[in-house]
Amino acid sequence: MKKLLITLVLIPFIGIAQTFENLDYISPFSNGVAAIKKGNEWGFIDPEGNLIVDFRNDLVATKTDNASYPIFSNGKCLIANQKDGVLYYGYIDKTGKTVITPQFLNANNFQYGKALVLKVEKETIGYNDIFKKDVVNYHYFELVIDENGNTIDHLTQLAIHVSPKDKNDKNPPAITSKLISENLVAVKGNNKKWRIKKI
């Protein structure tokens, strides 16, 4: 009798999708999900209307032909978290779990199972006895990473120096390379000319 009562109570709720109201934006479906916006937060729904990634304020919008909204590409979506006044980029999966911790000065969406990122490194170059602090230098490299965040290839051999905290420009440094196939990347040199590199 108890099982019958539980079954009768649960039946009306099985198969009923959530209803969302007062949304500010609903993207087209892509890669099996649609981004929905409420206030300053984005979430994702599946084709049945289930909220698969709860509303959050760290999802990064991607510019498309007509609009700008977060997307999943190769099962990952860009996120950005601020640390010491600097935005660092990483990735979540379709459950909302962080799969690559925010650590990059800039990052592209995954394609061909790879992504282009700017990896910042902090180098201690001395010690200031007056302020009792390390003297540090920041530089970054343009990298290709795999789906686990591991470096596949360095696209810039020389470090590009930057001071993330003192930048007046709040936009991240640009990624100049682009993936053109599963195994090829186009890399722009200092002379503004392109070279094709196999990865």
pLDDT score, position 170: 67
Q: Which two tokens stand for residue 121?
A: 């490194």
Residue with tokens 């003297």: 135
* pLDDT of res. 2: 46
Q: Is the pLDDT of residue 121 over 90?
A: no
Residue 112, pLDDT score: 95
The partner residues of 106 in beta bridges, in order of sequence, read: 118
For residue 137, CA distances in Å to 162, 167, 168 come to 8, 14, 17
pLDDT at 42: 98
Asked if pLDDT for residue 7 goes beyond 50, the answer is: no
pLDDT tens for each residue of 47-78: 999 999 999 999 999 998 889 999 999 999 99
> In the predicted model, is pLDDT for residue 129 greater than 50?
yes
How far apart, in whole angstroms, are the C-alpha atoms of residue 61 and residue 107? Answer: 12
At residue 160, the pLDDT reads 62
79-82: Cβ within 8 A, 24+ apart:
none
Q: How far apart are alpha carbons 117 and 45 in whole angstroms? A: 27
Domain ranges of the chain: 20-71, 106-199
Residue 71's pLDDT is what? Answer: 97
Least confident of 63-67, 136-140, 178-182: 136-140
Q: Where are the alpha helices (DSSP H) in the chain?
A: 2-10
Cα 187 to chain centroid distance, Å, stands at 21
User: Is-contact 147 113, C-beta < 8 A?
Assistant: yes
Share of the chain above pLDDT 90, in %: 61
Quote the percentage of the chain above a pLDDT of 70.
84
Q: Is the pLDDT of residue 174 over 60?
A: yes
User: Residue 126: pLDDT above 50?
Assistant: yes
Which pair of tokens denotes residue 79? 């996120």
Q: State the average pLDDT over residues 171-198.
A: 91
- Residue 153 pLDDT: 93
pLDDT at 169 over 60: no
More confident residue, 121 or 24: 24
Question: What is the b/e burial string over 159-169, where b = at least 16 CB atoms within 10 angstroms of the residue's CB?
Answer: eeebebeeeee
Gap between the Cα atoms of 55 and 70, Å rounded: 12
